[in-house]
Amino acid sequence: MLNANLLNINFSEIFQSNFLERITQFSILDCAVALLLSFAIGLFIWFIYKKTFAGVIYSATFNLSLIAMTMITTLIILGVTSNVVLSLGMVGALSIVRFRSAIKDPIDIVFLFWAISEGILCGAGLIPLALIGAPIIGVLLIVFAAKKNRNDPYLLIVRFTDAKTEKKITELTEKAVSTCRVKSKTVTGGSGTELIFEVRLNNGNTDFVQKLSEDENVSFASLVSVDGNITP
């Protein structure tokens, strides 16, 4: 009998709680505006990442995740700001999350934090700050990405069969580039010799690679940037 009374009291307390009141107090319009704005800013971040990407392999899924991350962060902040108790539970739940995906390019971390910060601003209602910060950061990234440093080092890989060709290759390379330094030399019996130079180009000119490959004793000539991009 006592247990039945306690059960009735517990159910009565549940139905008398302000759970439904909190639902009615939540503004669906504010949520829709915040999510639409975060989606628009996420698209802007997506465009900037695609425009400024300079890595080896472009990941469309990672770029798409920036849009989703902006919107999800906005959704989390909307929930956290509506209830203090929920915010404490959300912090505890998110603290156990572990991400194992490796970040290949340091600039990807910048875009991740950018998407998260924009989502936080949209969810917190700081719309002017979100709208002002997004284009400023985007323009800065485009400007600095467009300014390619022509003095970046490259690796010149040349394979040849005749040992006498080494001097000719070295002289031609030194004349065509601003700086030239031998990084390694590999000699294999029957397969010839492989030389790797560290060079810096003159005004981005790569015509000397074609001249090297035209030599009958040269079997392979390739110019590779330090970040892994092959120069045609």
The one-letter amino acid code at 20 reads L
29 contacts: CB under 8 Å, gap ≥ 6: none
Residue extent(s) of CATH 3.30.70.260 domains in the chain: 153-231
pLDDT 10s digits, 77-116: 887 776 655 555 565 555 555 656 666 677 888 888 889 8
Answer for the pair 33, 83: CB distance below 8 angstroms, yes or no: no
- Distance, in Å, from the CA atom of 165 to the CA atom of 5, rounded to the nearest integer, reads 99
- Distance, in Å, from the CA atom of 204 to the CA atom of 178, rounded to the nearest integer, reads 10
pLDDT 10s digits, 172-198: 888 888 888 888 888 876 667 888 888
Q: How many CB atoms lie within 10 A of CB 81?
A: 13
Residue 123 burial by Cβ neighbours in a 10 Å radius (0-12, 13-18, 19+)? buried
Q: Is residue 136 very low, low, confident or very high in pLDDT (cuts 50, 70, 90)?
A: very high
What's the fold here for domain 153-231?
A: Alpha-Beta Plaits (3.30.70)
- Residue whose token pair is 């990234």: 141
Helix (H) or strand (E) holding 181: strand 177-188
225 contacts: CB under 8 Å, gap ≥ 6: 152, 153, 154, 155, 231
